[in-house]
Every structure is written in C-alpha cells, then in structure tokens.
Amino acid sequence: MKLTDFKALTFDCYGTLIDWETGILAALEPLLNAGERTLERDAVLAEFARQEAAQEAATPAMLYRDLLSEVHRRLAREWQVRVPDALHLAFGASVPQWPVFADTPAALQYLGRHFKLVILSNVDRDSFAGSNLKLGVKFDAICTAQDIGSYKPDARNFRYLIEAVAKLGIDRGQILHTAQSLYHDHVPAKAAGLATAWIDRRNRKDGGGATLSPADRPAYDFRFVSLKEMADAHRALIAPRN
C-alpha cells in the first residue's frame, strides 16, 4: 500500500491540523487560575478528554460550542471552582482561537494538488469556519458533527463521510482517513473499512492527551509524526528518478 494509491484524504481537524491541546489549555487558564489549580498539563488534558467524551455521548445533537461550555461547567464542578457563566460560554467560543500546527498550511496546500481534501470533525460549522481561516486551503467537502447529528467515534459519522466522498466520485477504497486520535478516528475508521494514516502529534509523549485512549491500539496503514512528514513521503514517491 502506497500513498499514491488514494484519491481522497479525509481529515480529522482538531489535534491533527489544529493544535487543540495548546488551545484548550490556554482557554482553560482562567478557570484554573480562579481555582488556584496547579495541575500538570497532561492531568488537565486527561480530565478534559474524560468530560468531553461523556458529554458527547450524553448529548450527541448538541452544537460543539455549547457542548464545550457544558464541559467547562463539568470541569468547574470537578475542580470545585465557581466562576461566572460568561466564562463557560467563552470556553465554548474559543475554538477559532486555537492555533494551527506550524506545518499544516503548507502541507495541506501540497496535498491538495494531488488529492481531494475532506474534513470530518467533531465541531459545529461556525467554529470550523473560524479555524479554516488558518488552514490555508479550500476543502472539497466539510462534514461536521452539526451536519451529522452525532460525534465520533459513532459509526454514523463515518457512514456520512463515505457517502460525502462518494459524491466526489471517489469510493471507499480510494479514501485515506488521516487523523491523530486513535479513539475518535482510527478505531471507527477501521471498522468502516477505511485505510488510515496516523498523524502521531503526541510522538514520545505518554497518554492520550486531550483524547481518550482506546482499550486496544487499532491497526493503521501509515504513521507520520507530522503532516509535513506525510507530504514529504508523498513527494518522494512521485519524484522523478534519474
């Protein structure tokens, strides 16, 4: 199997293209300061992961910005911190401020010359529109949790994705799902019969960070530590040989 075997790259956004862990921690800083909390970075991210997954399972039709506000309320209760409701709402609205990984825009621009590019993200349309300004490309299709009515890792999201890519004239066997989260993306993508590329942004870090870790590590077809490394691997495949 080679990267050149595929016609569409379907992407998770947050954690893969957008540095959501940095964004989450920055947006949680007012809550942590209000409670005078000195938790380690990974402890904060792990608690976010637990609360986010629980809220997504409980309210699959809730808009992501509203869901994030509920997650913030859950964290405040967990950490026994009282803050104004405006702070919960501000966290929910923070997604467009989360930074892009430095390698993402150039890598996407290169890959977009060779593949159809499609987003499958646990987000609402308005929040993604804010992030998309940082990504530097026009996607051929955008599939959000708001469009689908459920959150990954629900199998429904991947059925929706496969149908959306089929409208571009590309079948399941020509899709490479590209994502950081093993829990949200690789487990259900493999169950849906998709090839996958793991963008291991947490290379050499312990734990799952802002995502839950699956009980068993799923199979994947490619592994890269950055999107640049993936683009470079494709570039090397198509480079003329002397």
Q: What is the per-residue pLDDT across 96-109, written as a single tens digit (0 to 9) for each?
A: 999 999 999 999 99
Low-confidence ranges of the chain (pLDDT < 70): 241-242
pLDDT at 236: 93
DSSP secondary-structure letter at 221? S
CATH number of 3-19+99-238: 3.40.50.1000
What is the number of residues in the chain?
Answer: 242
Catalytic residue list contains 12: yes
Active site residue: 12, 19, 124, 185, which one? 12
Q: How are strands ordered across the β-sheet holding 222-224?
A: 141-144, 116-121, 8-11, 175-179, 195-199, 222-224
Q: Do residues 235 and 211 make contact, with C-beta atoms less than 8 angstroms apart?
A: no
Q: How far is 67 from 63, CA to CA, in rounded Å?
A: 6
10 Å CB burial of residue 94 (0-12, 13-18, 19+) is buried
Residue 222 φ/ψ, nearest 5 degrees: -140, 155
What pLDDT is attached to residue 242? 45
Q: 3-class SS at 71?
A: helix
CATH 3.40.50.1000 in the chain, residue ranges:
3-19+99-238
pLDDT score for 223: 96
Inter-residue contact 119 to 179 (CB < 8 Å): no
Q: Which phi and psi angles does 18 have, rounded to 5°?
A: -105, 135
- The whole-number pLDDT of residue 207 equals 81
The two most distant CA atoms of the chain are separated, in Å, by 67
Residue 241: per-residue pLDDT: 61
Q: For residue 177, what is the enclosing H or E element?
A: strand 175-179
The pTM of the full predicted model, rounded to 2 decimals, is 0.93
Q: Counting beta carbons within 10 angstroms of the beta carbon of residue 114, is it exposed (0 to 12), middle (13 to 18) or buried (19 or more)? A: middle
Q: How far from the centroid of its chain's Cα atoms is residue 86's Cα?
A: 26
Residue 72: per-residue pLDDT: 97
Structure confidence at residue 209 (pLDDT) = 87
CA dihedral 162, 167, 169, 171 (to 10 degrees): 20
CATH topology of domain 20-97: DNA polymerase; domain 1 (1.10.150)
DSSP string, 32-65: HHHTT----HHHHHHHHHHHHHHHHHH-TTS-HH
CA dist., res. 148 & res. 158, Å (int): 10
The rounded distance, in Å, linking the Cα atoms of 72 and 90 is: 9
